[in-house]
Amino acid sequence: MATRTSEKPASSAKKKAVVGNGLIYGLAPYKEVKGEDYMSLPQRDHFRNILIAWKQELMQEVDRTVHHMQDESGSLPDPNDRATQEEEFSLELRTRDRERKLIKKIDSTLERIEKDDYGYCDDCGVEIGIRRLEARPTATLCIDCKSLQEIKEKQLLGG
């Protein structure tokens, strides 16, 4: 498989979420035990660990961005170089802003775990499911309610 050397690598959060060895932020997928209750203590601990690892990676990315912007913020004499650098910084800041919002959502999800309110759909109350939560640990809707929500949004926006 050919790799492109001219492209910037994807953020480390994305790389670790989709690792070929099946790890999720450095953790193996949860192996359910026969007869185990949904959202048992080991399951909640598993998702707490995923969320904490994800949050740590996002925070490290923020630190890297700050250091990168400080290191690269020297005044460039060429106006085109300055404009390119400012655009790059703008893109990085927008990405970090989305990640900041995601960190808030992770914190909110960690609170739900502590309150034993994690893993159940906000709309219908059914189990969201271990595999869906591993794919999207901050999910608050089951797949049926999420699909219905997306259909309604599409209809409202005329998409």
pLDDT per position as a tens digit, 54-101: 999 999 998 888 888 877 777 778 889 888 888 988 998 899 899 999
Q: What is the average pLDDT across 128-149?
A: 96
Q: Dihedral sign, CA of 11, 16, 17, 19? A: positive
Q: What is the average pLDDT across 128-154?
A: 96
Prediction pTM value: 0.77
The C-alpha R_g of the chain, in whole angstroms, comes to 20
Name 9's Cβ contacts closer than 8 Å, sequence gap at least 6.
15
CA distance 38 to 73: 50
| Contact call for residues 17 and 24 (beta carbons, < 8 A) | yes
Which among 38, 40, 56, 48 has a CA at the least distance from the CA of 114?
48
- 4-28 pLDDT, tens digit each: 333 333 444 444 444 446 777 888 9
Which among 42, 52, 17, 38 has a CA at the least distance from the CA of 129?
38
Q: What is the average pLDDT across 33-43?
A: 95
Q: In the structure encoding, which two tokens stand for residue 73, read together?
A: 């913020």
Domains of the chain: 12-118 (1.20.120.910)
Which among 101, 103, 71 has a CA at the least distance from the CA of 88?
71
Q: 124-130: long-range contacts (C-beta < 8 A, 24 or more apart)? A: 127/38, 127/39, 130/30, 130/32, 130/43
CA distance 159 to 149: 14
